[in-house]
């Protein structure tokens, strides 16, 4: 049986269990419907693959609309699974009693208590949800069950058949909690055996905070209908910032906004764009030669995220009077055509995207727009503010996304016409040499870039027998040379990358549309290893992050040079694959925003840094003291 779903679910599944498991597992990691949709949109094979860095998408749900979206996605999964399960064969099985209900003695129970994470006090009236984790448990237990905690925070799920279950908790004023997110390394799901009574399950909710305030225009008048976002920054290796919208609201008639149920942490607030009307979003002015809208502005009143002021949110912190001015700016239209050229493929159902260059870290729609190409190959983007943009045309065929051509444009103070030529992109080719003892078998030269909040890889198909490689169809942007290995071997690194007389092995380089670059690349594998023990006083420090970052500020911008490890129950850690050089070593608590990847983190914490020099192919022991630093 084949079910074909429409976007954002872009897959054909032939197995009900496979569909269920994938939807359920992604529910755990992609907590908002927008993130869930983004996963499916990126699921088809694509020349640019997500690198395996921790993208921070497994954080708690941060607002009411995200919780509702997650439950909506989960109910879709339940309905799809039920559709598969209720086939005629299944119905006949039920009619013939092949799957009888278990006896009372075979039913189990799950019970426990919900606590505040900060004080340990019980949380009454919390909603505890128990949901089946696989199709077999669905057949035995039915859909999810929800109970409320009593005055002492206790809850009970009686009469449960054997199976695998997930559990989550929600209470107004707290961030939603799922057991698999517990910092005590508990398993993701609960496996209940026949007749088993699982008691004393401890679940902890984190108290939330509120950001509230007012937006006004340059004349001090309140602005109604303006989108306001609470943004979280997640630092990536190399110091790049992934920007996620944790909450969204619209200002009221007094310009006031309020975003509740925010987990403790640091936030930025932004407002701007079009005015939200009941049926559409419009600018302040719009005409043939352009229009006017509110500039995207960060608190306390800057257009640059680097100049924005962060806000500390928590149950005891006051963030209820955040006032700032949002100025206006012109917006314009970008029009053009997709030129396929003589003898090139015929375009059909192509999409054209317009992505703002300085919004590479954004994981939501603030980064740009996407429109459908018209039948005459024309396209139009409206309400585009001034800035630098990358235009691209792509198609999706048989589940494979293909980017076909690019153009770079700059919007200043007028409408703009620009064409996109299919096949026009950057290209990097060259030769590869390996240091002694390193085989090129299975190696691929890759270019790493940061876009849509993630590191993406553009890679060569392989290295041919003569040692040559070629990477084609590259968009404009900033790139770093890396090497990948088909067997997962991680000791290899780019030691040299000479292009036009300059070595780009340890620095970014720019590619423009139509650029062709020839490079000589040298690979090496003489990496070192650092291991040791972290202590807190006389005791081993478990669950800390040991961070290794280069002393050189330039090398910190290259993701390959920044490495991490976690201490185990005995406080031990091990970091392998270290490129020879001089480093700083830290042992710090886990951080939701991975602030230790911030480029200025070492300078702010020199007092707790351990200097380490790593020689080629060496192993050394370095013991550390735990550091409770403010990240």
The model's pLDDT over 425-483, given as tens digits with 9 standing for 90+, comes to 999 999 999 988 888 988 999 999 988 777 888 888 889 999 999 999 999 999 999 99
Output phi, psi for 544, to 5 deg. -90, 160
Tell whether 318 and 345 lie within a shared domain. Answer: no
Q: How high is the pLDDT of residue 341?
A: 67
> Are 304 and 338 in the same domain?
no
Same domain for 288 and 374, yes or no, is no
Structurally, the chain folds into a number of domains equal to: 5
Choose the weakest-confidence range: 11-25, 159-173, 393-407, 524-538: 11-25
Q: Are residues 197 and 290 in the same domain?
A: no
pLDDT value, residue 44: 37
Q: What is the pTM of this model?
A: 0.73
Among 524, 550, 574, the domain boundary falls at: 524
Number of Cβ atoms within 10 Å of the Cβ of 498: 15
Q: Tell me, what CATH number does 537's domain have?
A: 2.60.40.10
Q: What CA–CA distance (Å, rounded) separates 527 from 494?
A: 11
pLDDT, residue 54, reads 35
Q: In this predicted structure, what is the pLDDT of residue 97?
A: 45
| pLDDT value for 55 | 32
Peptide bond into 562 cis (omega under 30): no
Query: pLDDT value at position 294?
Result: 95
* 3-class DSSP string for 386-443: CEEEEEEEEEEECCEEEEEEEEEEEECCCCEECCEECCCCEEEEEEEEECCCCCCCCE
Q: Are residues 58 and 198 in the same domain?
A: yes
Mean of the per-residue pLDDT values of the chain: 82
Share of the chain above pLDDT 70, in %: 80
Residue 182 lies inside a defined structural domain of this protein: no
Within-domain flag for 468:
yes
Q: Does 184 reside within a domain?
A: no
Q: Which of 124-128, 142-146, 250-254, 366-370 has the lowest mean pLDDT?
A: 366-370
Given 524, 545, 569, the domain boundary residue is 524
**pLDDT at residue 165, as a whole number:** 93
Q: Are 56 and 594 in contact (CB under 8 A)?
A: yes
Mean pLDDT to the nearest integer, 59-63: 40
261, 292, 326: which is the final residue of a domain? Answer: 326
Looking up residue 305, the CATH number of its domain turns out to be: 2.60.40.1120
Residue 27's nearest CA partner among 174, 139, 145, 134 is 134
Is residue 327 over pLDDT 90? yes
Q: In this predicted model, which residue has the larger pLDDT, 4 or 405?
A: 405
Do 134 and 56 have their domain in common?
A: yes
Averaged pLDDT for residues 488-510: 92
Scanning the structure block, which residue is given the tokens 């192919």?
617
Q: CA-to-CA distance for 309 and 299, rounded, in angstroms?
A: 6
In a domain, 364, yes or no: yes
The arithmetic mean of pLDDT across residues 226-230, rounded, is 96
Query: Is 36 found in the same domain as 142?
Result: yes
| Confidence label for 188 from pLDDT (cuts 50, 70 and 90) | low
Whether residue 71 is contained in a domain is answered as yes
Full domain range(s) for residue 362: 331-421
What is the structure's pLDDT at 320?
86
pLDDT value for 185: 40
The helix-helix angle for 16-29 and 64-85 (nearest 10°) equals 170
pLDDT in tens, 422-435: 999 999 999 999 98
Check whether residue 343 and residue 259 sit in a common domain.
no
Upper half-sphere CA count for residue 595 (Cβ side, 13 Å): 18
Residue 41 has pLDDT above 60, yes or no: no
Please name the residues in contact with 46: beta carbons below 8 A apart, sequence gap of 6 or more: 400, 401
Residues 281 and 384 in one domain: no
Claim to verify: residue 355 and residue 455 sit in the same structural domain: no
State the pLDDT confidence band at 151, using cuts at 50, 70 and 90: very high
Mapped onto helix, strand or coil, the DSSP state of residue 608 is helix
Least confident interval from 96-110, 119-133, 327-341, 493-507: 96-110
The dihedral region occupied by 180, where left means phi > 0, alpha psi between -120 and 50, and beta the remainder, is alpha
Mean pLDDT (whole number) for 4-24? 38
Q: Tell me: pLDDT of 602 over 80.
A: yes
Do 390 and 352 reside in the same domain of the chain? yes
Q: Is the pLDDT of residue 80 over 50?
A: no
Mean pLDDT (whole number) for 113-134:
92
Half-sphere exposure of 593 (CA within 13 A, CB side): 24
SS (H, E, C) 537-589: CCEECCCCEEEEEECCHHHHCCHHHCEEEECCCCCEEEEEEECCEEEEEEEEC
What is the DSSP code string of 29-76? H--SHHHHHHHHHH-S--SEEE--S--STTSPP-SHHHHHHHHHHHHH
Nearest CA to 165 among 125, 205, 129?
129
Asked whether residue 408 falls in the same domain as residue 432, the answer is: no
Judged against a pLDDT cut of 60, whether residue 66 lies above it is answered with: no
């Amino acid at each position: 049986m084949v079910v074909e779903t429409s976007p954002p679910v872009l897959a054909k599944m032939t197995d009900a269990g496979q569909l269920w498991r994938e939807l359920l597992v992604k529910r755990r990691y992609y907590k908002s419907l927008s993130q869930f949709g983004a996963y499916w949109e990126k699921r088809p094979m694509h020349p640019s693959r997500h690198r395996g860095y921790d993208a921070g998408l497994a954080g708690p749900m941060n607002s009411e609309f995200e919780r509702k979206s997650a439950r909506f996605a989960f109910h879709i999964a339940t309905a799809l699974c039920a559709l598969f399960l209720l086939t005629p064969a299944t119905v006949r099985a039920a009619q013939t009693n092949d799957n009888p209900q278990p006896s009372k003695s075979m039913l189990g129970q799950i019970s426990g208590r919900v606590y505040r994470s900060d004080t340990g006090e019980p949380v009454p009236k919390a909603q505890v949800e128990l949901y089946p984790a696989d199709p077999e448990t669905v057949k035995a237990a039915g859909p999810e069950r929800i109970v409320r905690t009593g005055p002492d925070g206790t809850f009970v799920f009686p009469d449960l058949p054997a199976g695998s279950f997930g559990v989550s908790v929600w209470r107004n004023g707290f961030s939603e909690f799922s057991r698999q997110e517990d910092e005590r390394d508990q398993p993701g799901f609960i496996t209940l055996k026949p007749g088993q009574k699982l008691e004393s399950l401890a679940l902890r909710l984190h108290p939330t905070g509120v950001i509230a305030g007012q937006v006004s225009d340059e004349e001090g008048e309140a602005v109604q209908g303006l989108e306001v976002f609470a943004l979280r920054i997640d630092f990536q290796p190399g110091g790049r910032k992934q920007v996620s919208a944790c909450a969204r609201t619209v200002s009221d008639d007094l310009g006031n906004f309020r975003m509740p149920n925010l987990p403790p942490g640091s936030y930025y607030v932004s407002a701007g764009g079009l005015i939200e009307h009941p049926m559409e979003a419009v600018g302040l002015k719009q005409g043939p030669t352009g229009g006017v809208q509110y500039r995207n502005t960060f608190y306390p009143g800057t257009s640059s995220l680097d100049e924005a002021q962060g806000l500390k949110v928590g149950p005891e912190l006051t963030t209820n009077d955040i006032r700032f001015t949002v100025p206006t700016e012109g917006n314009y239209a970008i029009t053009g055509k997709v030129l396929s050229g003589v003898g090139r493929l015929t375009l059909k159902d192509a999409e054209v995207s317009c992505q703002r260059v300085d919004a590479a870290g954004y994981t939501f729609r603030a980064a740009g727009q996407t429109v459908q190409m018209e039948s005459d190959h024309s396209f139009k983007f409206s309400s585009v503010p001034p800035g630098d943009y990358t235009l691209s045309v792509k198609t999706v065929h048989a589940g494979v996304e293909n980017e076909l051509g690019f153009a770079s444009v700059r919007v200043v103070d007028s409408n703009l016409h620009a064409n996109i030529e299919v096949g026009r992109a950057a290209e990097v080719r060259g030769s590869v040499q390996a240091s002694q003892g390193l085989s090129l078998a299975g190696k691929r030269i890759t270019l790493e870039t940061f876009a849509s909040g993630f590191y993406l890889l553009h890679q060569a198909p392989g290295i041919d027998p003569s040692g040559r490689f070629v990477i084609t169809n590259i968009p404009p942007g900033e790139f770093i040379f890396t090497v990948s290995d088909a067997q997962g071997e991680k000791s290899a690194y780019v030691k040299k990358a000479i292009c036009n007389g300059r070595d780009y092995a340890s620095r970014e380089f720019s590619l423009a549309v139509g650029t062709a670059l020839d490079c000589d690349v040298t690979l090496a594998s003489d990496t070192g290893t650092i291991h040791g023990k972290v202590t807190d006083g006389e005791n081993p420090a478990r669950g800390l992050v040991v961070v290794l970052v280069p002393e050189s500020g330039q090398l910190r911008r290259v993701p390959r040079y920044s490495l991490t490890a976690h201490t185990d129950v005995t406080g031990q850690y091990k970091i392998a694959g270290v490129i020879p050089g001089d480093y700083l070593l830290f042992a710090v608590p886990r951080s939701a925003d991975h602030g230790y990847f911030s480029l200025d983190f070492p300078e702010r914490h020199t007092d707790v840094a351990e200097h380490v020099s790593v020689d080629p192919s060496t192993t050394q022991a370095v013991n550390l003291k735990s550091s409770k630093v403010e990240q």
